[in-house]
Structure 1
């Protein structure tokens, strides 16, 4: 069954890979990017099946306009993939106000604006699937990625709540949580704080803990996304990569053990 899929952040990385895979599968794709020049190759290959739209997700009004254009052009929006975002590398103390605001603005508010824009369309249709690209770092954390961690924790809470609010409208929500992948997320797409010498040991330890096996192959994710789009009962959460589940399981076991250790104190704090 052909579906119309709206993807943000489609100029590179996961967004472009998934857009191409979906087009090859016969779907119609609305691909957004700040600069649509990067989508010309897909236009040449797939013609009218792709609608490239210039979009800065930080502009709420523009998000509503883009969703409206997509609806008018294809007649429906069956799936939204909220993929736009970037990583900010740096210790918490190093992070400027502007850097922190830009990270949250794009990763959280940008995702929120596009989500809000598509909901009336999907409610009117009586169906839809919203795919929120989060991260394993929305469940567990790494040092020197604190504001990014915070942004993805926010995406997790927002999206889980959304799933409960819209299920009776026939709208499904999936939170996709990749572990590290060898995209340019940590390269050209990333932002970096002004370094402080005091945090160099933390950064060195972080780098030393990374291995080639820590990062998945981006192209290998396309089959998972195609399956996710096609399934009639998609999961609320989906890891991408082999590192994610063992890591999250270990951290959650530690959290549960600590909560249990302090449960007596917690119960006494209830007061009755």
Structure 2
């Protein structure tokens, strides 16, 4: 049976690739984007299978209206993929208040608004799957991406809590955590904070690290993984994407556990005596 899938940020990158993959296999897709003209190609190719919707996820009321329109048009929403977001590059000290707030508005609050809008529909259906596109940088940190890291850490905490709250309603929840991919996330879609010379060496080291051959995955290769996730009867809470994600996360988590163990006595003493 074909599914109705709502994808935010579907005009480019992962969102467009996944929308095309679902449409090609016969699913119906609600494709949202800030610029509806950028979604015209999907409509031209797939006709009535796709419903293009202009949406700025920073606008909470617009999120409610877009979700309700999707429900009215197709009769249900089986899957929500919260994909809209962008990267903000800059050291923490370099980042302006407006840049930080804008990053959180889109990457965190946008996810929250669309999620809240779809929950009543999925609860009424007693079924649904909410997929939040996070990042492996929602599990570990990288320099020069502090506010982006923070936004994805926030999405991780929100989503893990959500999964506990809605399981009884028949709603599955997943986090997709890609490593770096060759999309325009770090190019045209990215924002750069005003640089401070003192952070030049940190940025040079970061650039050297991501310049390793093969560091960036091929976006088209993720389509099969997303289809498997959507089709899984018991989907995982977390799905890492890319060959660099797992070893990077494992290394950091092993270091964290070792540090917790080293300071265990201090931690336990801080509880006090009963």
1:38 CA drift (Å): 1.3
1:113 CA drift (Å): 0.1
The equivalent residue for 1:239 is 240
Please give the residue correspondences for 1:1-272 in structure 2 after superposition, counting only pairs within 5 Å. 1-210=1-210, 211-272=212-273
1:157 CA drift (Å): 0.4
Q: Secondary structure at the match of 1:10?
A: coil
Q: Secondary structure at the match of 1:81?
A: strand
1:36 CA drift (Å): 1.3
Q: Secondary structure at the match of 2:113?
A: helix
1:249 CA drift (Å): 0.5
Q: Secondary structure at the match of 1:172?
A: strand
Counterparts of 1:225 and 1:198, CA distance in 2: 41
Counterparts of 2:120 and 2:209, CA distance in 1: 45
5+ long unaligned stretches in structure 1: none
Q: Secondary structure at the match of 2:214?
A: helix
Counterparts of 1:42 and 1:8, CA distance in 2: 14
Counterparts of 1:156 and 1:127, CA distance in 2: 22
Cα RMSD for the two superposed structures: 0.5
Q: Secondary structure at the match of 1:213?
A: coil
1:42 CA drift (Å): 1.1
Q: How many residues align?
A: 272
Counterparts of 1:39 and 1:147, CA distance in 2: 29
Q: Secondary structure at the match of 1:30?
A: strand
1:212 CA drift (Å): 2.7
Counterparts of 1:227 and 1:108, CA distance in 2: 25
1:104 CA drift (Å): 0.3
Q: Secondary structure at the match of 1:189?
A: coil
1:201 CA drift (Å): 0.5
Superposed CA deviations along residues 36-85 of structure 1, whole A, max 9, x for unmatched, are 11111111111000000000000000000000000000000000000000
